[in-house]
């Protein structure tokens, strides 16, 4: 009998010890968290670029295992086998089915490179070769300034049209939905003969829609070989990964794009594509996982808008596009009042009286921002 009671006593104190250790664990974590937040109180919050910092907390690069490619498996060290292109092409077709509920035409050709900026430049190169003339370009985004700097060194005879939707331009570069206002542009609104659509923000994580927000674009893509579409896996939440692709139904354009990429890269970055492909199959082909990301951003958006009234901030977004909030306050205003670095309006063909706030900061930085913003 005594032995039996001793067993109960041992069990009781063992359970008690475990409970104490459990609560001690959370006390230590809370203390560490408070210590981190205390250190953040005087630091500048960086909210001026589009990297998915809070998603990085959900996708650790350590969870992306690199194993040899096999035609029946996804991910792996792409350069070990000859089926890399087949795996990547398969991924792109599945991407459009999952993200956009779109089945690409059978004659669609896919060109891979390091992000959308490279794909845009590759198309410029391809069009110049195909048309055998100086081409003119119009665009409605800050990408104009970036590409002008890069292309001016490579292609000397491109005519740049600074005015958006210049009817004399050969090519229109359109971001739809746009950054940061979330504007959707349909092909019928474009007067240029060639159109390049950057649909990098047409993702469930950013729109909350389990289908494309550009349905007319894909209908026109099936009819018109002068429409090109590019997007990127660079925003998959893995720092340093640059991988994107362009789709076209024009075989001549496809060959010239590949020629440009082979000149600049010798071969597209297979390691980056491998990591992007692995992340896609592990996370981004899961609609619920992406919707969770969107709802986090939507919640932050609502918190931001609610607190902004206190500071007389005007929200300029036409529609909500996660993760961007466009305000009538300048970069200097944000720095002076909240020590937050935003992105200046002139980067989006606007004035520097406005600036863009990116909601995709880490949870710790978001908590610190809201502490300042709600004071």
**Domain of 225: which CATH number?**
3.40.640.10
Does one domain contain both 189 and 304?
A: no
Does one domain contain both 259 and 121?
A: yes
Beta partners for residue 356, in sequence order: 326, 343
Of 360 and 243, more confident: 360
Does one domain contain both 22 and 123?
A: no
The pLDDT assigned to 301 comes to 94
pLDDT band at 159 (very low <50, low <70, confident <90, very high): low
Q: Summarize pLDDT for 220-233 with one digit per residue, the tens.
A: 999 999 999 999 87
Q: Summarize pLDDT for 61-117 with one digit per residue, the tens.
A: 545 554 444 444 444 444 444 456 777 888 899 999 988 899 999 999 999 888 887
Number of domains in the chain: 2
Q: Summarize pLDDT for 254-289 with one digit per residue, the tens.
A: 999 998 888 776 555 567 777 777 778 888 888 999
Does one domain contain both 39 and 76?
A: no
Does one domain contain both 116 and 200?
A: yes
Does one domain contain both 164 and 275?
A: yes
Average pLDDT of the residues in 15-32: 60
Checking if the pLDDT of 153 tops 80, the result is no
Can you give the residue range of the structural domain that contains 262? Answer: 65-284
Does one domain contain both 124 and 77?
A: yes
Please identify, among 284, 315, 343, the residue that sits at the C-terminal boundary of a domain.
284
Average pLDDT of the residues in 136-159: 58
Does one domain contain both 238 and 308?
A: no
Choose from 21-30, 120-129, 136-145, 362-371 the range with maximum mean pLDDT.
Answer: 362-371
Does one domain contain both 108 and 82?
A: yes
**Domain of 336: which CATH number?**
3.90.1150.10
Does one domain contain both 71 and 51?
A: no
The pLDDT assigned to 58 comes to 73
Please identify, among 238, 260, 284, the residue that sits at the C-terminal boundary of a domain.
284
Please identify, among 241, 258, 284, the residue that sits at the C-terminal boundary of a domain.
284
Does one domain contain both 48 and 114?
A: no
Q: Provide, rounded to the nearest whole percent, the portion of the chain with pLDDT above 90.
A: 34
Does one domain contain both 78 and 164?
A: yes
């Amino acid at each position: 009998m005594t032995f039996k009671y001793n067993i109960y006593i041992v069990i009781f104190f063992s359970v008690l010890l475990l409970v104490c250790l459990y609560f001690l664990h959370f006390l230590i974590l809370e203390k560490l968290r408070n210590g981190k937040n205390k250190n953040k109180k005087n630091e500048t919050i960086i909210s001026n670029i589009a990297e998915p910092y809070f998603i990085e907390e959900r996708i650790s690069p350590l969870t992306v295992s690199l194993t040899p490619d096999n035609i029946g498996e996804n991910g792996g060290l792409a350069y070990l086998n000859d089926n890399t292109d087949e795996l990547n092409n398969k991924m792109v077709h599945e991407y459009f089915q999952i993200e956009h509920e779109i089945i690409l035409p059978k004659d669609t050709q896919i060109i891979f490179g390091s992000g959308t900026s490279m794909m845009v430049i590759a198309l410029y190169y391809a069009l110049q070769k195909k048309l055998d003339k100086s081409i003119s370009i119009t665009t409605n985004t800050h990408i104009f300034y970036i590409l002008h700097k890069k292309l001016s060194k490579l292609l000397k005879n491109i005519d740049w049209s600074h005015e958006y939707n210049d009817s004399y331009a050969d090519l229109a570069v359109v971001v739809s939905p746009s950054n940061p206002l979330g504007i959707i542009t349909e092909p019928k609104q474009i007067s240029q003969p060639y159109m390049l659509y950057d649909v990098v923000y047409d993702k469930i994580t950013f729109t909350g829609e389990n289908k494309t927000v550009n349905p007319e674009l894909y209908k026109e893509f099936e009819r018109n070989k002068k429409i090109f579409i590019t997007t990127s896996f660079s925003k998959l939440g893995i720092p340093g990964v640059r991988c994107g692709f362009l789709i076209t139904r024009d075989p001549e354009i496809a060959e010239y794009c590949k020629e440009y990429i082979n000149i600049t890269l010798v071969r597209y970055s297979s390691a980056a594509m491998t990591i992007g492909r692995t992340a896609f199959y592990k996370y981004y082909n899961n609609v619920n996982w992406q919707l969770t990301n969107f709802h986090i951003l939507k919640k932050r958006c609502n918190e931001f808008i609610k607190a902004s009234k206190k500071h007389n901030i005007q929200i300029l977004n036409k529609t909500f596009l996660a993760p961007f909030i466009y305000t009538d306050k300048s970069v200097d205003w944000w720095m002076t009042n909240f020590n937050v670095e935003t992105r200046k309006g002139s980067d989006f063909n606007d004035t520097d009286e406005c600036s863009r706030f990116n909601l995709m900061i880490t949870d710790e930085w978001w908590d610190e921002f809201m502490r300042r913003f709600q004071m």
